[in-house]
Amino acid sequence: ETGVTQTPRHLVMGMTNKKSLKCEQHLGHNAMYWYKQSAKKPLELMFVYNFKEQTENNSVPSRFSPECPNSSHLFLHLHTLQPEDSALYLCASTALADSNEQFFGPGTRLTVL
């Protein structure tokens, strides 16, 4: 248990569906991240939020829409995805000010049909 939880753990959706991924951290951290992990590729940073403000958008297609209502919660809203978007989506958090340790959630395995 890393203190970062993600739901759902598995998600299957059609290309016309709209779904959301949820991440919650119980560590008092101020920065939260979304990563995409595809088979045989390095972890790809998607978005970074610091104190609820988006500080990084790594050229992510607009069919992925992040939301950070507070420093403990992070969402990734999905719509009209493509099969190549199937991957493990990982959320992470870090304190930044106190340390640079980054902690990951267990991930959501997404399959787009």
Partner 1 sequence: GQQLNQSPQSMFIQEGEDVSMNCTSSSIFNTWLWYKQDPGEGPVLLIALYKAGELTSNGRLTAQFGITRKDSFLNISASIPSDVGIYFCAGRASGTYKYIFGTGTRLKVLA
Footprint of partner 1 on this chain (CB under 8 A)?
Answer: 2, 4, 6, 31, 33, 41-43, 45, 48, 50, 55-56, 88, 90, 92, 94, 96, 99-107, 109
> Shortest Cβ distance from residue 82 to partner 1 (Å)?
22
Nearer to partner 1, 35 or 64 (CB): 35
**Distance, CA of 29 to CA of 94 (rounded, Å):** 5
Nearer to partner 1, 9 or 18 (CB): 9
Nearer to partner 1, 80 or 106 (CB): 106
Between the CA atoms of 77, 8, 51 and 34, what dihedral angle is there, to the nearest 10 degrees? Answer: -70
**Distance, CA of 71 to CA of 18 (rounded, Å):** 24
